[in-house]
Homo-oligomer: A and B are copies of this chain.
Amino acid sequence: MSKNLVRPKSISGFAEYLPAEQRAAQQMQDQIRRQFELYGFTPIETPAVERLEVLLAKGGDTDKEMFLLQRLDPEAESDAKLGLHYDLTVPFARYVAQHFGQLIFPFKRYQMQPCWRGERPQDGRFRQFMQCDIDVVALDKLALSFDSEIPLVAWEVLRKLDIGDFDFRISNRKITEGYLQGLGLGTTTPLSVVTRWLDKLEKIGPDKVKEQLRELGVEQPEKALALAQIQTRDLSFADKVRALGVEHPTLTQGLDELTQVMERLFSEHQQGFLVDLSVTRGLDYYTGSVYEIRWNEHPGLGSIGAGGRYDDLAGNYTSHHLPGVGLSLGFTRIFSKLKQTLPPPTPTQVLVTWLEPEATKSRLLAAQLRAKGIKTESYHEPAKLNKQLQYANRKQIPYVLFEADMEMKDLKTGLQTAVDLATWQPD
């Protein structure tokens, strides 16, 4: 009977993986999870949807990219307006505000979930993408030591994932803001407008930035630019800033904080960390440390991780004062570019043949291996040996156990030897 087929195809911006890729993704996610937990971050998950008023409370430019839910059934009772979350920060803020009384502060959480944005799909940008977030929030006052712990954890994750060379750029918003105020800026033009241009330094170059600042009425644009051009892989950034001769208490505080943070980071890891005073992470809610990770092999990809310290996480949802610091790694973006040797398309480590008339022996041996934690398939029907070996080969199953004569074949080396299952272990 012929019928109309719906042609299956991918949806632009929604990644989907073949079994071997999915296993690689799963292994990476397990590694990230393990690393987060090594530092005592605890997992939370929030529903994929939030009420629209929660999603919109923050304001900003993500609104237009939001996906709302609608019922197919036009007669469905009208629900509260719901939308898919576009990041994990908003759901986390709502979560902390809602469960405030049942959380223990400082609260260290990680969250690894897909997010959705209706933006135009392009290289490294997806409409569904998994973010891996870590944050620490405290009540009223948050220790500065977390400002170095957060980048440390993220750095170690990226090293474990073996992504190659990356720059973990760090700055402190107090430096930028104090410096610009010391220059007398911020009275006629809001500081955030100035910092937004400084943030674009790498993208559009110093000349264009200077021009823009001049248009804003900044009298000494080269002076503002000089700060943003400071990049060091050691603690010398503080002297370089001081040499510019600008003074302001906020600047002093920012330099002091960044020095403490970088002291620890440079002492733990020599490579990868970079003080870059052009980093401001446009978002207005960052008030101290700011982080931005670039993957040097893929400069066009944008940042693969970003974050910072904010003065109040959940000010839209609670009157408790909850300062925090956090960072978000773009898993889908990283995975989309990661070159790696893929694992086999199955977790199976041993295939037990079914060569005898009855399956009983094959199944018993398989159960014996599983009891030892070894992932095992018992071949699903009595079939010619060649067919069973071909199945193992195609699925890249490393070992085949011949149940009739109790010999184990290593498909990589081709060696076949008698085994004692009580002691045998796969490589």
- Give Cα distance in the complex from A47 to B121, angstroms: 15
CB A37 to nearest CB in B, in angstroms, measures: 4
Q: Which residue of B lies closest to A394 (CB)?
A: B104
Residues of chain B lying within 8 A (CB to CB) of residue A68: 69-72
B9 touches A22 (CB 8 A): no
- Give Cα distance in the complex from A49 to B117, angstroms: 13
B67 touches A71 (CB 8 A): yes
A42 touches B19 (CB 8 A): yes
**Count of identical protomers in the assembly:** 2
A6 and B145 contact, Cβ closer than 8 Å, known pairs A69-B67, A70-B70, A72-B83:
no
Q: Among A6, A43, A345, A359, which residue has the most Cβ atoms of chain B within 10 A?
A: A6
In-complex Cβ contact of A380 among B14, B76, B103, B106 (8 A): B106
A64 and B53 contact, Cβ closer than 8 Å, known pairs A48-B114, A347-B37:
no
- Give Cα distance in the complex from A151 to B11, angstroms: 34
Residues of chain B lying within 8 A (CB to CB) of residue A67: 69-72
A18 touches B64 (CB 8 A): no
- Give Cα distance in the complex from A57 to B96, angstroms: 41
Which one of A282-290, A295-303, A315-323 contacts B? A315-323
A192 within 8 A of B: no
Residues of chain B lying within 8 A (CB to CB) of residue A16: 45-47, 95
In-complex Cβ contact of A116 among B48, B80, B99 (8 A): B48
A51 within 8 A of B: yes
CB A362 to nearest CB in B, in angstroms, measures: 10
- Give Cα distance in the complex from A50 to B315, angstroms: 36
Q: Which residues 322-365 of A have a CB within 8 angstroms of B?
A: 345-348, 359, 363
A190 within 8 A of B: no
Q: Which residues 96-123 of A have a CB within 8 angstroms of B?
A: 97-99, 102-104, 106, 108-109, 114, 116, 118
A346 touches B108 (CB 8 A): yes
Chain B proximity mask over A13-26: 1 for CB below 8 Å, otherwise 0:
01111110011011
- Give Cα distance in the complex from A231 to B128, angstroms: 47
Interface residues in A, total, Cβ within 8 A = 98
A146 within 8 A of B: yes
Q: Among A47, A391, A395, which residue has the most Cβ atoms of chain B within 10 A?
A: A47
A43 touches B70 (CB 8 A): no
- Give Cα distance in the complex from A269 to B377, angstroms: 19
CB A296 to nearest CB in B, in angstroms, measures: 26
Residues of chain B lying within 8 A (CB to CB) of residue A114: 48
Which one of A206-214, A239-247, A368-376, A403-411 contacts B? A368-376
CB A242 to nearest CB in B, in angstroms, measures: 25
A66 within 8 A of B: yes
Chain B proximity mask over A58-93: 1 for CB below 8 Å, otherwise 0:
000001111111111100100110111000000000
Q: Which residue of B lies closest to A364 (CB)?
A: B268
Q: Which residue of B lies closest to A72 (CB)?
A: B66
B377 touches A40 (CB 8 A): yes
CB A266 to nearest CB in B, in angstroms, measures: 14
In-complex Cβ contact of A381 among B51, B143, B346 (8 A): B143
Residues of chain B lying within 8 A (CB to CB) of residue A348: 40
16 example contacts (A-B, Cβ-Cβ < 8 A) are as follows A7-B317, A15-B47, A16-B47, A22-B42, A38-B375, A38-B376, A39-B375, A40-B347, A48-B48, A64-B71, A67-B71, A68-B69, A68-B71, A69-B84, A72-B118, A146-B380
The 7 A-B residue pairs with the shortest CB-CB distance, nearest first, are: A40-B348, A8-B98, A14-B47, A64-B73, A40-B377, A66-B72, A143-B381
